[in-house]
Structure 1
Amino acid sequence: MLRNLFQFVFVVTGFLASLSLAADGPQRDYDLLLKNFRLVDVESGQVRDGQLLLIEGNRIAAILPAAQQAEVAAKEVVDLGGNYLIPGLWDMHVHFEGRDLIEDNALLFPVYLAYGITAVRDAASDLAPEVLNWRTEVAERKRLGPRIFTAGQKFEGIDSIWKGDLEVGDRASMLAGMDKLEKMNVDFIKITENTMDPQLFIDTVAEANHRGHLVSTHVPYGVSIGELADAGLSSIEHASYVLRLGNADEAAIAKAVRAGELSKEVAAERYRAGFDQRQAIEGYRMLAQKGVAVTPTLIGGRQLAYLAETDHSDDAFQRYLTQRFMSKYQWRIDRMAGEGDKEREARKARYQLIASQLPLLADAGVVLLAGSDSAALNTYVYPAEALHTELVLFQEAGLSPLQALQAATVNGARFMGQWRDYGSIAEGKRADLVVLTRNPLEDIRATQDIDSVISGGTLYRRPKLDSMLEQAAQARAKLDSSREAAGR
């Protein structure tokens, strides 16, 4: 019945739009008319044939039956050859980082678009001023790249190991930090758990929620996930943290760590040893009830778990990454160099356990957000490409292709409060679209077979995308050469 109702509404909407267009007459020139495509409805999972899509400026002006083409006119008419039309992809967890990598990050922006990624959520770094400037430049179409949502600087405790954090040690400094981020007009608040006091961590979540901000966090050992959910948490970044919900004593363990009665190392071991799947599912239902989303970021754990048996020396994407960027990967490689077979097998088992939770999280009603955690410090998690790998890992973990696609489209737009403009293909929404040569609802790997990308109403066909990629490769080579010549 709901499907029939949806189809009825879709037909009526198209009919009303056609009346409006007919009233304007064919003399009105729209900017772009797309025809001969298969529209992938990311909400219903249906594929629709026999339609036209009209773009005016940066918006979808109308979606009409193909039979009405004679009633409309456009400056450009493009036959998409029966390919599949999906919304632009969103990577919901990236980092543009490294004070010595400003140019290295900037040259990757067109690469994101060439990979069909039209929006990214930057989860904070030491490049906050640059990222905020890039956000404006992209929005004003002065820079070619995906739309940026950013946390600016992330909250941390005093003497954090991460660079560029907003370090706070008490409530007064936290409130001042919140004021600073609001002046920066950040899109959400990010908090990590390296050195921050547990109670201050909870207070920061609560303050961000009180001020109306989305707030995304790691989970400290001294704080239970339930406490964070009650304080107003919006999303947990990295699914490894949700495994703690599989321990019936999670709240007690967190309380003991906060009181100084239990070390983080002992707490970690208790979480590992006490995992119960049924208990975890109950915890996932709690997350769903309280509206806490999860960004799994599987790829980082997967790359490290299989690092010893994977040869990355010929990875094609490295043609876009400078030598300096790639050098940042080494710290994790060095840290794992002494691991033996036992440690490697344990790492693989943990990755598989985390991945196996995704269908259970989805079944419990938790909103999943597709994010790569691509960053210079995350070994072999390549910007842009990693999101597509993440979606494949979602599918391999047991999610349907539709669920994986939703995690990179509709879920992100809704989470960020941008559903009116993004996340699906509908009249009035922003014209951020990707044309695929295969059906992603049959195999999510189809997101990698890109024919064209439309960003802000501008169409980039495959030759143009290839040119953008080649220019990025040339920019990388030039940057490497200039540094080599300068001895840097």
Structure 2
Amino acid sequence: MCASSGWAQDLALVHINVIDVATGRILPNQTVAITGPRIVRVSPSTRAQPKAKRVVDATGQYLIPGLWDMHTHVYFGSTAAAGSDLILPLLVANGVTGIRDMGSELEAVLQARAAVAAHRLLGPRMVVCGPMLDGGKSPYQAALSVATAADGRQAVDLLKRRGVDFIKVQSLVPREAYMAIMAEAKAVGLSVEGHVPDAVRATEAVTAGQRTFEHLIGIFEASSTDEDAYVAGGQKSPGRFLATYDPAREAAVIQLLAAHREVWQCPTLFWERGQWLVDALDWRQDPDLRYAGRSWVEKRWPAAQKNIGQTLDTEPLAVREKFVAHELELVRRLHAAQVGFLAGTDMPAGVDLLPGISLHLELQRFVAAGFTPLEALQTATLNPAKFYHRLQDFGPIQAGRLADLVVLSANPLADIANTRRIAGVVADGRYWSRPELDQLQRQLLQVAARK
């Protein structure tokens, strides 16, 4: 879907309540002036009309920074065909103005990153890794096979030359290859993020410098008395994790992560629940399903559900429900230890993961894990800014920062579900009113029906 040719605007949002995502303070009745892609002033509103070309009266509404989905797969497998004209614009329509893409077809994602930045394509800011690095028998199309240390170094060098932003590692990367990847990435100035591979301990991943743990992988293993067996290639399952769970071992790995504040957790809680309980959740009743590509609903997701049932969800439902509750408690304990968290969804790779929409549900899962609404909101706003060391561009709404913003009709600090009550979106300085968003979403419904 093409972006508007007249992108950035001379804009003022007046009489709006500005939420400071660093402190939770609400600044009432503010004027936020935007010129081009940046905020130029945040100040109390007066009776005098601002001189901006477009003035939006936002009386009674709330302003938050644009949201980041820190675990996406835009050009991935059979959903790749919908990346440009459905997935990316649907993210913006739901207030997601930045994404970290954790594995996509290289050419497609590089072209999209450039097109979005040049406003030739409607979508959020994109931080990308290109294809994932995985073992020799990876089941994913958007992956490079890495079997040896030499393979690992070559893959890192290739992706560096192509201009990716970081390296993503998957579960099947062999131990020797992983260590080579970590060393080579450090040498060429790329961070490594992703799964803690099956052959590597969480403690080793921290020492090696891996910047994120996805899906809490590595922590479950480190909290089990069977960790040695897992690293040696033993089978894992929710029931086995629960049966061998050792609180003292968990406390030790939490303490380690708390001491290494540069290592962040992206737990994808909404999808974790969806994965382990896929047979018990009637995803076909999701009222937002109409925004999913038709082939996702009719082919991809039913096939994925069947595969999960045959390979992952083989234990009794009660065991898996207990494990999902255990995940929330683990997140609660990590959070209490001040381990950093990032909000991510894994969309659209998993069943019933809808671009943009699922991020709001992820924030609700953080609250279910004991986060305050402000803390949950920070996982998609302030924390990504800290993670990328770009507080000068993102984070709290202040003059000089990039104009990625979401206007809400209700206070998200009172109820995190209010992040879905979107009255407007500012993406790189371009304002989308609620009627404009409605029109965009009607167009996207038509696109979804063809996909």
Same fold (TM over 0.5): yes
2-structure distance, mates of 1:411, 1:174: 30
For CA contacts below 8 A with separation 6 or more, give which structure has more relative contact order. 2
| Alpha-carbon distance, 1:321 to partner | 2.2
Moved more, 400-409 or 103-112: 103-112
Letter in 1 for 2:288: F
Query: Judging changes above 3 Å, is the alpha-carbon distance between structure 1 residues 307 and 178 closer, same or farther for their aligned structure 2 residues?
Result: closer
How large is the Cα RMSD of the aligned pairs?
Answer: 2.3
Q: How does 1:205-244 map to 2 (within 5 A)?
A: 205-244=182-221
1:224·1:254 contact (CA, 8 Å) conserved in 2?
Answer: no
Q: What letter corresponds to residue 58 of structure 1 in structure 2?
A: P
Structure 1 match to 2:330 = 357
1:18-417 mapped onto 2 (5 Å cutoff): 31-67=10-46, 70=48, 73-98=51-76, 100-106=78-84, 107-125=86-104, 127-194=105-172, 196-247=173-224, 250=227, 252-253=228-229, 257=232, 263-265=233-235, 271-290=241-260, 291-326=262-297, 327-337=299-309, 343-375=316-348, 377-417=349-389
Q: Runs of 5+ in structure 2 lacking a partner?
A: 1-8
Q: Scaled by the length of structure 2, what TM-score is found?
A: 0.91
Quote the offset at 1:319 in angstroms: 1.8
Please identify the structure whose Cα radius of gyration is greater.
Answer: 1
Partners of 2:284 and 2:404 in 1: how far apart?
Answer: 34
1:413-451 Cα deviation digits (max 9, x unpaired) = 221233221122111000000011111112111101111
Query: 2:76, 2:291 → 1: CA distance?
Result: 16
Q: How many Å apart are 1:65 and its aligned residue?
A: 2.3
2: CA distance, partners of 1:295 / 1:209: 21
Work out whether residues 104 and 325 of structure 1, in 8 Å CA contact, stay in contact via their aligned partners in 2. Answer: no
CA shift, 1:354, in A, is 0.7
197 and 307 in structure 1: CA distance in 2 versus 1, 3 angstrom threshold: closer
Greater shift, 107-116 or 398-407, is seen at: 107-116
How far residue 281 of structure 1 moved from its aligned partner, in angstroms, is 2.8
Identity %: 32
Residue aligning to 2:5:
none
CA deviations 1:276-324 (Å, max 9, x no partner) are: 2343133112112222100010112212344334333242322222222
Gaps of 5+ in 1: 1-29, 258-262, 481-488
Q: Match of 2:448? A: 476
Q: Deviations over 1:138-177 (max 9, x none)?
A: 1011111111111101111223222131112222222221
Aligned counterparts of 1:462 and 1:219: Cα–Cα separation in 2: 41
Contact kept, 8 Å, 2:196 with 2:217, in 1: the verdict is: no
Q: Tell me the SS of whatever aligns to 2:171.
A: coil
Amino acid at match of 2:358: A
Counterpart of 1:8 in structure 2 is: none
Q: CA deviation at 1:188?
A: 1.3
In structure 2, distance between residues paired with 1:336 and 1:189: 27
The reply on whether 1:421 has 2:393 as its aligned counterpart is yes
CA positional deviation for 1:111: 1.2
Once residues 25 and 300 of structure 2 are traced to their aligned partners in structure 1, the CA distance between those partners, rounded to angstroms, is 43
Matched position secondary structure for 2:91 = helix
Q: 2:360 touches 2:419 (CA, 8 Å); kept in 1?
A: yes
Task: Write the distance in 2 (CA, Å) between the matches of 1:36 and 1:136.
Answer: 35
Distance 1:32 1:46 in 2: 24
CA distance in 1, matches of 2:237, 2:295: 37
The TM-score with structure 1 as length reference comes to 0.84
Inter-CA distance 470–269: structure 2 relative to 1 (3 Å threshold)? closer
